[in-house]
Amino acid sequence: MVNNGNISDGVGDWFYVYVKGDLTNSGSISNRSFITDGAITNNGTMSNYYLSLCKNLTWNSGSFAPSNLYFNGAAEQVVTLASGLPNVSCTGSNKNLRMESDLIFSQLSLGGDALLNMNSHKLAGVNGGIISGIATFSNVNTVEGLITLSGGSPTVIGDLTVASAATLRGRANLAVTGSLVNNGNISDGVGDWFYVYVKGDLTNNGSISNRSFITDGAITNTGSFSPRYFGAYVRYLSIWDSRNPPNGWSDKFTNGNNGLGTMNFVPRIDGPLSSGFRVDYTLTNNSGASVSGSKDISGVNWATEGRYSGQGYANVYFQFNYPSATGTYKMTASLIDSYGQIISTIGSENTITFP
């Protein structure tokens, strides 16, 4: 469909349009609802209340300000914007969006476990900047404005930079696989807690005050660094067969006395932590049989070491009976805060076999 004229609602009426193919607009489209199974190229004016497309969006010139924009394609949709979308709610069922321009938005909600490939462009939030339904962000140049991550455990692939005067906050568990440079503000959301894990290094020139911050790398701080919990996580698992101990601690052993004796399980926790924290563990085999338990760690004694100055660590000891079902088990342990939020989870690298 090519529009060089005007498509609008009638006087006191709403006009609904469906196009099977592509739309090229060089005129004006302002009707109530416009749906296309194809792509949209806009060189004119579009101000629909409801606009849905299943292929690429290219906004070259003119005005593009639908109230509600839906990306509903089954395959990757490529988006090129001439400017920002400060008053547009972007949503839809699509699980794969790739940007060919900066994305300036107020609300973005995609299909639950979606991938947003920023393709080295910036991600900027305005008027709330709420994001949900996105599991993975890749190739993000910088984060600008106000961005609020609403729920879930999103992952940023690669490095991430939070720009000066920007705020990254939310109710989420964010993981960054590369390094993080913060020149702005990282904080909890309003009435919410924000958990951040960084695989690489942290350079902080701004302010960090969220609930929990964990990094496996180095920290260079020239700003304000005051997360409530820093470096608190389950570092590794050790398992000891108390009836027939192997040579030292191990993640792998074979028990020849199935159903007899007990095992000791020792996760190492970096802390210290305030009261109310616990560690939950689960042993699960290939058939789904499991043994699980929990331990309050409020009263553990915290040793000291140089890895986190003033933080220290604790070895938390569990003891439980051998599983009644034979087979090969994997163990996981989670550090839980006093409000039931998971701060970190680790799985044993090797397996545990009960013949």
Phi, psi angle pair for 124, to nearest 5°: -130, 125
pLDDT for res 258: 38
List, in sequence order, every residue forming a beta bridge with 89; answer none if it has no partner. 68, 107
Alpha helices in the chain (DSSP H): none
Report the predicted TM-score, pTM, of the whole model to 2 decimal places.
Answer: 0.70
The DSSP code for 353 is: E
Give Cα 239 to chain centroid, integer Å.
Answer: 31
CA distances 289 to 197, 242, 324, Å, are: 31, 22, 9
Domain(s) of CATH 2.60.40.10: residues in the chain: 233-354
Listed residue (229, 159, 146) closest to 186, CA to CA = 146
Rounded CA separation 57/38 (Å): 9
Buried b (16+ CB within 10 A) or exposed e, 251-271: bebebeeeeeeebebbbbbbb
User: Which long-range contacts link 105-114 to residues 24+ away (Cβ below 8 Å)?
Assistant: 105/129, 106/130, 108/132, 108/134, 109/133, 110/71, 110/134
Coil/strand/helix, residue 343: strand
pLDDT for res 31: 95
- Which tokens go with 34? 């416009």
Residue type, 87: N
Per-residue tens of pLDDT for the chain, all 355 residues? 999 999 999 888 999 999 999 999 999 999 999 999 999 999 999 999 999 999 999 999 999 999 999 999 999 999 999 998 887 888 888 889 999 999 998 888 887 788 999 999 999 998 888 998 888 999 999 999 999 998 888 899 999 999 999 999 988 889 899 999 999 999 998 878 888 888 888 999 999 998 888 887 788 889 998 887 665 545 444 444 444 444 333 434 444 443 334 455 556 665 555 567 787 877 787 777 777 778 777 666 655 443 333 445 566 655 555 566 667 777 777 777 776 777 667 665 556 665 5
pLDDT for res 301: 62
Give Cα 324 to chain centroid, integer Å.
Answer: 37
CATH topology of domain 233-354: Immunoglobulin-like (2.60.40)
Rounded CA separation 51/134 (Å): 21
Let me know how long the chain is.
355
| Owner of token pair 């570092």 | 235
pLDDT for res 333: 75
